[in-house]
Amino acid sequence: QSVLTQPPSASGTPGQRVTFSCSGSNSNIGSDTVNWYQQLPGTAPKLLIYSNDQRPSGVPARFSGSKSGTSASLAISGLQSEDEADYYCAAWDASLNGRIFGTGTKVTVL
Among 23, 25, 27, 35, binds other proteins (CB under 8 A): 35
Query: Rounded to an integer, what is the distance from CA 3 to the centroid of its chain?
Result: 14
Smallest distance from the beta carbon of 15 to other proteins, in angstroms? 27
Beta-sheet strands, E only, within 1-110: 9-12, 18-23, 35-39, 46-49, 63-68, 71-76, 85-93, 98-101, 105-109
Binding flag, residue 31, other proteins (CB under 8 A): no
User: Strand pairing of 9-12 and 105-109?
Assistant: parallel
> How many CB atoms lie under 10 A from the CB of residue 55?
17
Distance CA 4, CA 18 (A): 19
Restricting to residues 51-110, name those near other proteins by CB under 8 A. 54, 56-58, 86, 88, 90, 96-104
Smallest distance from the beta carbon of 61 to other proteins, in angstroms? 15
Kindly tell me which of 96 and 110 has the beta carbon lying closer to other proteins.
96
Among 5, 21, 45, 63, binds other proteins (CB under 8 A): 45
Size of the site for other proteins (CB under 8 A): 26
Distance CA 74, CA 6 (A): 11
Which listed range, 9-17, 19-27, 31-39, 62-70, lies at the site for other proteins (CB under 8 A)? 31-39
